[in-house]
Structures are given as C-alpha cells and as structure tokens.
Amino acid sequence: MGIGLILPAFGLYSAGYILPGLVLALLTPLSLYTVKRNWAWPPAAALALITISSAFLIIKGTSPLLALAAILGSLAAWDLSDFQTRLNLAHRDDDPVSLERTHLLRLLPTLLAGFLLSWAALTFHFTLNFDRLILLIILGIAGLGLLISFLRQVD
C-alpha cells in the first residue's frame, strides 16, 4: 500500500501538484499504521483513492506505467490485507504458511498477467478498419459466451 500511495504522490509532485502529492505521501505511514492495526476499511479507501489519483495523473499526461504500478501495488495491498483478516481464523494446525504460499501463488500470477495485458495494451496499437472491428466484436461476444458456459460447467 505504501508503494501504491508513494507512486501517485510522486506522479502528482512531478506534474506540479505539490500539495496533493504531499498529502498522499503523508497518508503513506498512516496507511501502514492502519494495516498494522488490522482495520478493515482503510485498504479499500486507499485503493479507491489511489485509483482516482492514478486516473487523474493519466488525464494530466503522466506516464501510464507509473499509474499502472500504483494500481497494481494498491490492489496487492488490498488483497493481502483482506487475506490477513481471513488468515487470523487459521489455527497453527491449519498450516498458515502453506495457506500464505498458495495465496501468493494465485495473487502474483494474476497481478503479473494483469500487468502484462495492460502493458501490451499500452505498447501495441492496432488500427482496425470497420470490417475487422465488427469481427473482433463478434469474436469478443462469442468468447464471453463460451467463457460463461465454461464457468457454469465447472461449477
């Protein structure tokens, strides 16, 4: 969460918004304190705040990679703080280390895949004509339908 707050703070500071950047920077130790105290709502509030400030940075023309890194950091923090709350239910016989490991093995690839997809979207730009665009939309709708039916079968 600290990374998630520091990055947009730096971005805001670089873009000339010194006071908002300073406020976000000051919120960093506060957010770490709330995480340490196991408060439930600050991670979600911080995630929303970081998302809004990242969006603001992009509108103001700052590097999207900086905003993306802030988003990924805050998403990880939000996920881990919630997992910590759930992990408090675990007894030592439940092997909490193994639970942590399996959780991280799910979270890290998810974040990595999200980052790679975003990075690819930022890097590769395709110019499509109308026919191909229609084809892509049809493929997208069909893929979504297949995905839903697959998920139903799995369940």
Partner 1 sequence: MSRTLTLGLLIFFLVTLGLATFNGSLLVLAIPFIFYLLIGLWRGPETVKLEIQRHISKERVVPGEAFTVTVQITNQGVDIEELAISDPVPPFLDITEGSPTHLVVLKRGKTYTFAYTASGKRGFFQFNHLNARASDRLGIVIARESLATHGQILILPPVPRIKRIAIRPRVTRVYSGTIPARQGGPGTDFFNVREYQPGDPTRAINWRASARHTQAIYSNEFEQERVADVGIILDGRSHLTEFRNNHSLFEHSVIAAAALINTFINSGNRVGLLIYGKYINWHVPGYGKQQRERLMQALARAETGDSQAFASITIPPQMFPSQSQLVLISPLQNDDLEPLIKMRAGGYPILAISPDPIAFETSFLPATPNIQLAARIQRIQRQVLLQRMQHGGIQVIDWDISRPFEQAAGPLLSRPPAFMRAINIGGQS
What does the binding site for partner 1 look like in residue numbers (CB under 8 A)?
44, 47-48, 51-52, 54-55, 58-59, 64, 67-68, 71-72, 75, 79, 82-83, 86-87, 89-91, 93-94, 96, 99, 102-103, 106-107, 110-111, 113-115, 117-118, 121-122, 151, 154-155
84-99 burial string, b = 16+ CB within 10 Å, else e? eeeeeeeeeeeeeeee
The distance of closest approach from Cβ of residue 40 to partner 1 in the complex, given in angstroms and rounded to an integer, is 10
Closest CB to partner 1 among residues 19, 59: 59
Closest CB to partner 1 among residues 29, 109: 109
117-145 burial string, b = 16+ CB within 10 Å, else e? ebeeeeeeeeeeeeeeeeeeeeeeeeeee
Say if residues 83 and 103 touch (Cβ distance below 8 Å): yes
The distance of closest approach from Cβ of residue 25 to partner 1 in the complex, given in angstroms and rounded to an integer, is 21
The distance of closest approach from Cβ of residue 123 to partner 1 in the complex, given in angstroms and rounded to an integer, is 10
